[in-house]
Amino acid sequence: MAMARHKGDHEARRRDVSAAVWRVLASHGFGGLTLRAVATEMGATTGLLTHYFPSKKDLIEHALTLLDEHRMADRPTEFPDGLAGLRAMLLEILPLTEQAVTSNRIWVGSWDAALANPELAAGHAVRYRRSRERIRTQVVAAQQLDELPPSDPDDTATALLSFVLGLIVQTLLDQAAFPAGQQIRLLDQRLAELARTIQ
Amino acid sequence: MAMARHKGDHEARRRDVSAAVWRVLASHGFGGLTLRAVATEMGATTGLLTHYFPSKKDLIEHALTLLDEHRMADRPTEFPDGLAGLRAMLLEILPLTEQAVTSNRIWVGSWDAALANPELAAGHAVRYRRSRERIRTQVVAAQQLDELPPSDPDDTATALLSFVLGLIVQTLLDQAAFPAGQQIRLLDQRLAELARTIQ
DNA sequence: ACATTCGCGTAACAGATGTTTTGTTAATTG
DNA sequence: CAATTAACAAAACATCTGTTACGCGAATGT
């Protein structure tokens, strides 16, 4: 059958493939990620995939790298200083939109593979260390503005990331119980509690 | 080669098999769980496995059910009322010991499969709902003892389970950064913050 | 107009995987 | 002590996996 030829540039096509990888990961998890599944997901064959990616590992790596960049690009680089900025930053992480649900579902799913592969685990360790660092910066700023009482910002950042990650997990496993409004309410309560704590 | 026959009862053997499943899950994750891997892990063949379990799904289900029971059996059924009991309950969940690391690693790894299978997800939803309920009971008790200020116990329980789950994830992915002492310190800080919050 | 390269479907391939079948040995039963 | 059955190993099986080889039409350059 004569297929329509996409003269478009190489890189755009690789992005299409990666998008298909995301959709398969989101619906079938890492356990269900096969070349055939990705191919049928985008209405193509494995021949196309191997034309753009030499191996499955390359395919996954590129898709995850792109997902990470995508996520970074979607959210503001700079948040306003202080508590409001901290709140905005944490809201960006939570699965509040369909998009965010999908991307979080992929990251949660990647933990199994990461825990079985030290190399992947190291990558995740770096990633979450960076998250903590970014949260820490906002905590310090809020403290300097007297919006938060003094505390060890490292511990506070770790505690906040823990809270957010745990809420993500509970939400994904029981989305009906944690609609967006509920998640936001819980986060606001958490931040209010932080602000009202006696030192 | 003439193998030693285990005349032992059927159920004990199924427990042996499940234990082998745990070890494979702990070291290779769900992605690396194959009948061959389980068989060699216990020095047997796939023939033994299929003799005790009709299919792989049955094998996994039984192993996870047993792991859940096992975990419940290991920890006290009753915790003392109040803040100390709440603390003890949450400490039981954290990956403080090698055993707890292993079991938590399996649970975190199961999330990928659960998110791809509504049936498994439903099981997890029930499980974590139960966890919240048990935490909630302790929160209420602590409030009645005036060890915690009044608050919506449902929200507080959810927030606490979120915190613990998120801390588990961060710990497993970067165990060097979160030794047992650090986890306990963070939890104690979290509980102290809860106790010191102005209503 | 012709040669070359690109894009991608087709299909073959070897290895792994879950399942089924078969055979063998040790316990159990009558 | 024969007969049956439980407890496995061994191997065959079909299916699925990632990878590779191949072919063909369309675009592109000359």
- pLDDT tens digits along A149-189: 999 999 999 999 999 999 999 999 999 999 999 999 999 99
CA distance B102 to B83: 27
CA distance A182 to B146: 27
Residues of A in contact with B109 (CB under 8 A): 111-112, 115-116
All residue ranges of chain B with pLDDT < 50 are 1-4
Cβ distance A161 to B162 less than 8 Å, yes or no, reads no
What Å value separates CA A44 and C1' D29? 28
* Helix, strand, or coil (residue A197): strand
- CA dihedral (A107, A108, A114, A116) positive or negative: negative
CATH of region B75-199? 1.10.357.10
Cβ distance B121 to A173 less than 8 Å, yes or no, reads yes
At residue A161, the pLDDT reads: 99
CA distance B11 to B2: 23
At residue A8, the pLDDT reads: 66
Domain A76-199: what homologous superfamily?
Tetracycline Repressor, domain 2 (1.10.357.10)
At residue A75, the pLDDT reads: 85
Q: Where are the beta strands (DSSP E) in chain B?
A: none
Pick the CATH number of B1-74 from 1.10.10.60, 1.10.10.10, 3.30.110.30, 3.40.50.720: 1.10.10.60
At residue B4, the pLDDT reads: 42
Contacts of B186 (CB under 8 A, 6+ apart): A155, A158, A159, A162, B167
B152-193 tens-digit pLDDT = 999 999 999 999 999 999 999 999 999 999 999 999 999 999
B2 to A158, B5, B38, B185: CA distances (angstroms): 56, 9, 21, 54
A79-124 tens-digit pLDDT = 999 999 999 999 999 999 999 999 999 999 999 999 999 989 999 9
At residue B1, the pLDDT reads: 34
A23-50 tens-digit pLDDT = 999 999 999 999 999 999 999 999 999 9
Nearest C-alpha of chain A: how many angstroms from B185?
A: 9
Q: Using the CA of A54, give the nucleotide whose C1' is nearest.
A: D19
Q: Give the residue extent of every domain in chain A.
A: 8-74, 76-199
Cβ distance A125 to B162 less than 8 Å, yes or no, reads no
Could you please state the CATH topology (level 3) that the domain comprising A8-74 is classified under: Arc Repressor Mutant, subunit A (1.10.10)
CB A10 within 8 A of CB A52: yes
